[in-house]
Amino acid sequence: MVPFEDPSEPFRADPSVLIRDTNTNHSLLSEADMSKSSNKTDAKRTSRTKPPQTEVVDSEAIERLVAKKSKRVPGPKLKLDYDEEARSLVIHVDHEDEAAGIARSMLELGITDDRVFDGFLSHMAALGENGQVASERATNFALGFVASIEPRDEVEAMLAAQMAATHQASMMMARRLNHVTNIPQQDAAERAFNKLARTYTTQMDALKRYRAKAQQTVRVERVTVNEGGQAIVGSVNHEGGGDGKK
């Protein structure tokens, strides 16, 4: 006989076959335990399992994600130690070999200058969130965002960092806009959110233009030469000054 499942109480079963869903606080049984149950119990539990097509889609999604993540190994995270009394923030690279961790972080962020790297980490660590002076989650989110853009130098890394900070501020204003209680609060949050959203797109355009400079080429699709004229193909250098006479 299957015991009654009270939503307020976890399902009682053998701990060796018990799996807890931390999101819903409900308990699920493993496949091994299900195979040992009666037909009636199996039918009841099978009705709560995923359809075969869903399992296939889930499996394919996991395989694709693993393959995509294997193409880029993320750098180490940052550990933040904030001293309330001294009001000081100590930044640690979360890696067993500190030198190797710093090297991987610099390579991932496109930074080669130690001075820039030191200041960059300080700026990222000072972002904070929800009134917190320092937040490892917010800082590592920003670093992950910057790394995903794959910056090629310090300028691109800083533009990406600004985009991450702008996004974080935009989400904060969006949250405020969704919880306003009066018109003045709504107007203030809406104006700030709109400015931040426009700033983000401007930052994206700036990054695109900066990257395009290194790849900019001039291509001539068509050249027309009138009768008696001449066309020169190749580089042409003009020497300035004088009347052109030698």
Q: What b/e readout covers 118-127, taking b as 16+ CB neighbours within 10 angstroms?
A: eebbeebbbb
Which among 12, 8, 13 is positioned nearest to 25, based on CA atoms? 8
Mean pLDDT to the nearest integer, 39-48? 52
Distance CA 100, CA 19 (A): 38
**Quick check: 30 pLDDT over 70?**
no
At 139-189, the pLDDT tens digits run 999 999 999 999 999 999 999 999 999 999 999 999 999 999 999 999 999
Rounded to two decimals, the pTM is: 0.63
Look up residue 1 and give its DSSP letter: -
Q: Which residues contact 112 (CB under 8 A, 6 or more apart)?
A: 106, 153, 154
Mean pLDDT to the nearest integer, 104-130? 93
What residue ranges do the domains of the chain occupy? Answer: 15-70, 78-213
pLDDT band of residue 13 (cuts 50, 70, 90) is very low
Q: Which residues contact 105 (CB under 8 A, 6 or more apart)?
A: 75, 76, 93, 117, 121, 143
**Quick check: 203 pLDDT over 70?**
yes
Looking at the DSSP assignment, which residues form a beta bridge with residue 21? 26
**Using an 8 Å Cβ cutoff, are 120 and 158 in contact?**
yes
pLDDT at 226: 66
Distance CA 152, CA 88 (A): 31
Q: Which residues contact 137 (CB under 8 A, 6 or more apart)?
A: 129
pLDDT at 227: 67
**Using an 8 Å Cβ cutoff, are 154 and 113 in contact?**
yes
Write the single-letter amino acid at 162: Q
At 50-104, the pLDDT tens digits run 677 888 888 999 999 998 888 888 889 999 998 877 788 889 999 999 999 999 9
